[in-house]
Amino acid sequence: MSAVQCQTPKLKHPSESRVYGVDFTRLLSSGETLTGTPTVTVFPSGVTASNPAVNSSTFLDDDGVTIAVGKGVQVRLAGGSDSVDYLVTVTVGTSLSNTLVVIAPLQVRAT
């Protein structure tokens, strides 16, 4: 299993409910794609993660880079407490029977 921690934190307001994308491209071999239903956990508790899915259409990551179909995971994140930093762990299988993990920091800020 591979695990990578994203360096740039994602940012949201405590009252927001938003879909966030996580890019797995650099962890995948040539021709490999993500498969199945991803699992998402958040630590500490307080942010709700729902509807995680391998992307079925392209999306732009936080840096404006286009993520190809089957190379990313999108998940809705809601809630959280002001001034708390969270770790969002996304685990997903691949077409080559690998299991990949990305840990993305999430900052919840009211201002």
Burial of 79 (0-12, 13-18, 19+ CB in 10 A): middle
Predicted confidence band at 1 (pLDDT cuts at 50, 70, 90)? low
What mean pLDDT do residues 59-64 have? 86
Average pLDDT rounded to a whole number, residues 84-95: 97
**Over the chain, what is the mean pLDDT?**
94
* Secondary structure of residue 62 in the 3-state scheme: coil
pLDDT reading at 5 higher than 80:
no
Per-residue pLDDT, averaged over 45-70, amounts to 94
| 3 state DSSP class of 27 | helix
Q: Which two tokens stand for residue 57?
A: 């259409």
How far, in Å, CA of 28 to CA of 96, rounded? 9
Dihedrals phi, psi of 68, to nearest 5 degrees: -70, 160
In sequence order, what are the residues at sequence separation of 6 or more whose Cβ sits closer than 8 angstroms to the Cβ of residue 12? 18, 77, 80, 106, 107, 108, 109
| Sign of the alpha-carbon dihedral angle for 13, 80, 11, 57 | negative
DSSP 25: G
Residue with tokens 């942010």: 47
Q: Provide the pLDDT for residue 2.
A: 55
